[in-house]
């Protein structure tokens, strides 16, 4: 009799179904980011194609276009698994999508914690990246624009000091340097004039040797970046939370859908086993 009651109770669940709300909400969630990933890859490829400088190959790791392509491809693969997995109700693809989000979330969390604990090493690594970017400043237009934007926004010049620009072959202060920009700094290091006049794009010429407070920025960008981070911790925390919420939502929806699919499969298998003999 107990088996009969369990069988009857189980058959009452024959009407259990996979929630279309969860299914299509997960699909829409992934489809939006899938389109975003395609746009990122397209922009990155276009930026790489229009470049003709062979020397950019020497600094691929610093190339924003390459970074955009790599992130876009990774996002494309993950969201593709989420889109197809939700539509086809494929547990394997959904698990791949969910595990990928978990791994990325853990990496982001670990990177934040390690950067906080080992702040000195993180600062040293950032210094290496900036110095390498200075070396390749003239080799990559995107990199050049990125550095100029950073120096203008943070009102700084070089990594730790304006003389870091001597690491660049064009701005090197060596007497044997034949460059017209010898011992100079980029225009983005110049302090903007308060007067309404035509900007002097040559204001950085020779300024490594005669840097003054009223001509160019003398503070390094690393110290300025650290000060900015300390002053905007709440904003950065909000941005980090904003990036984490979509990942958590994706994990939650995919896990709910996986559980519903598993329950449906389990119910179907149960019905198949007891269809021939409902009283067994």
Q: What is the pLDDT of residue 51?
A: 63
Instruction: Say if 135 falls within a structural domain.
Output: yes
Determine the Cα–Cα distance for residues 271 and 14; give it in Å rounded to an integer: 8
222 shares its domain with 260 = no
238 shares its domain with 113 = yes
Determine the Cα–Cα distance for residues 136 and 55; give it in Å rounded to an integer: 9
Instruction: Say if 280 falls within a structural domain.
Output: no
215 shares its domain with 135 = yes
Taken in order 163, 168, 171, 177, the sign of the CA dihedral is: positive
127 shares its domain with 109 = no
Task: Split the chain (280 residues) into runs of 10 and give each run's mean pLDDT.
Answer: 45 61 92 93 84 47 75 94 92 94 91 80 84 87 87 90 90 88 90 73 80 77 87 83 88 92 84 65
Q: Which two three-digit tokens encode residue 248?
A: 């958590």
The CA-based angle 240-249-79, given to 5 degrees, is 95
Q: What is the pLDDT of residue 197?
A: 67
CB 132 within 8 A of CB 60: no
128 shares its domain with 106 = no
Looking at residue 204, which CATH number applies to its domain? 1.10.1450.10
Instruction: Say if 179 falls within a structural domain.
Output: yes
Give the residue among 81, 103, 104 at the shortest CA–CA distance from 258. 81
- Coil, helix or strand for 119? helix
67 shares its domain with 98 = yes
Residues forming beta bridges with residue 161, ordered by sequence position: 219
Count CB-CB contacts under 10 A for residue 155: 14
14 shares its domain with 76 = yes
Instruction: Say if 89 falls within a structural domain.
Output: yes
Say how many CA atoms lie within 13 Å of 243 toward its Cβ: 10
Q: What is the pLDDT of residue 8?
A: 43
Q: What is the pLDDT of residue 3?
A: 45
Instruction: Say if 166 falls within a structural domain.
Output: yes
What residues make up the domain containing 13?
A: 2-119+234-275
Checking 273-278 for CB contacts under 8 A at 24+ apart, the result is: 274/7, 274/10, 278/7, 278/11
126 shares its domain with 226 = yes
Instruction: Say if 141 falls within a structural domain.
Output: yes
Instruction: Say if 163 falls within a structural domain.
Output: yes
22 shares its domain with 60 = yes
145 shares its domain with 189 = yes
Say how many CA atoms lie within 13 Å of 121 toward its Cβ: 7
Q: Which two three-digit tokens encode residue 200?
A: 């002097």
113 shares its domain with 246 = yes
Domain count of the fold of the chain: 2
72 shares its domain with 128 = no
Instruction: Say if 148 falls within a structural domain.
Output: yes
Tell me what percent of the chain is helix, strand and coil, each rounded to the nearest 5. Answer: 70, 0, 30
């Amino acid at each position: 009799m107990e088996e009969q009651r369990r069988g009857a109770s189980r058959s009452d669940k024959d009407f259990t179904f996979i929630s279309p709300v969860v299914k299509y909400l997960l699909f829409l969630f992934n489809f939006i980011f899938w389109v975003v990933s395609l746009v990122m890859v397209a922009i990155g490829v276009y930026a790489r194609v229009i470049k003709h400088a062979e020397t950019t190959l020497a600094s691929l790791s610093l190339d924003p276009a390459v970074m955009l392509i790599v992130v876009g491809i990774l996002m494309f693969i993950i969201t593709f698994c989420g889109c197809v997995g939700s539509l086809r109700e494929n547990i394997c693809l959904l698990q791949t999508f969910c595990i990928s989000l978990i791994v990325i979330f853990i990496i982001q969390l670990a990177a934040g914690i390690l950067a906080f604990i080992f702040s000195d090493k993180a600062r040293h690594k950032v210094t290496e990246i900036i110095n390498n970017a200075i070396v390749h400043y003239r080799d990559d237009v995107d990199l050049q624009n990125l550095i100029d934007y950073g120096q203008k926004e943070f009102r700084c010049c070089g990594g730790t000091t304006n003389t870091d620009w001597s690491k660049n072959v064009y701005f090197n202060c060596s007497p044997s340097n034949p460059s017209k920009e010898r011992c100079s700094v980029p225009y983005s290091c110049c302090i903007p004039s308060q007067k309404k006049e035509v900007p002097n794009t040559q204001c950085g010429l020779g300024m490594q040797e005669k840097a003054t407070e009223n001509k160019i920025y003398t503070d390094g960008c690393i110290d300025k970046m650290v000060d900015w981070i300390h002053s905007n911790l709440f904003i950065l925390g909000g941005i980090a939370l904003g990036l984490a919420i979509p990942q958590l939502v994706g994990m939650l929806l995919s896990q709910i859908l996986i559980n519903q699919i598993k329950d449906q499969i389990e119910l179907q298998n149960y019905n198949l086993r007891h269809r021939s003999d409902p009283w067994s």
